[in-house]
Amino acid sequence: MDATTTPSTDSLISQLAADFPDIAFKSKDTFEWDASTATVLYDPTDTLYAERTLHEVSHAALKHTSYDKDIDLIAMEREAWQLAKTSLGPKYNVNIAADVIEDDLDTYRDWLHARSTCPSCEATGIQVKKQGYRCVSCQASWRVNEARICALRRHLTQ
């Protein structure tokens, strides 16, 4: 565990830790909500650390654990940003700009587009199971990797 945090990070995190006693907060090099251990991982060096930390806490508050369809993951990401912007942001004096949210959701839209495009004919496929798609045009089917809530940015290069 890396305990190195800046003073400003500390004040937001200690406020959050007091208000959400059931959540553990851990400084790391990424942002993630780990429902299995009820832990929010945050990166104190990120320029959007306050926004992204509130986003992760929103996943926790909304009890997001897992999803069946990729489209559900995008809905969860949107929902978490919505709560962060309208509820947690005003409470902790963090103004979350609309384009921060849109840029983040764009990474999910790009990801979904890449996953759902048929590798044979490039038509858009439908998701038939958690890690499988089928093309409605040429009937090809293909597998996709499992994606974790909020850890997408690190997987986009795959």
Binding site for Zn ion (CB under 5 A): 77, 80, 118, 120-121, 123, 135, 137-138, 140, 150
Complex with Zn ion: residue 4 or 37, whichever CB lies closer = 37
In the bound complex, what is the minimum distance in angstroms from residue 116's beta carbon to Zn ion?
11
Helix ranges, 62-120 (H): 70-83, 89-91, 98-116
Q: Are 133 and 125 in contact (CB under 8 A)?
A: yes
Cβ(56)–Cβ(40) below 8 Å: yes
Closest separation in Å from C-beta 43 to Zn ion: 14
Q: By C-alpha distance, which of 118, 86, 102, 107 is closest to 157?
A: 107
In the chain, the largest separation of any two C-alpha atoms, in whole Å, equals: 57
Taking the least distance from each CB to Zn ion, the nearer of 71 and 138 is: 138
Pick the closer one to Zn ion by CB: 38 or 121.
Answer: 121
| Minimal distance, residue 7 CB to Zn ion, in Å | 26
Smallest distance from the beta carbon of 95 to Zn ion, in angstroms?
19
Which one, 86 or 137, has the nearer CB to Zn ion?
137
Checking DSSP bridges between strand 24-27 and strand 32-34, what pairing results, if any? unpaired
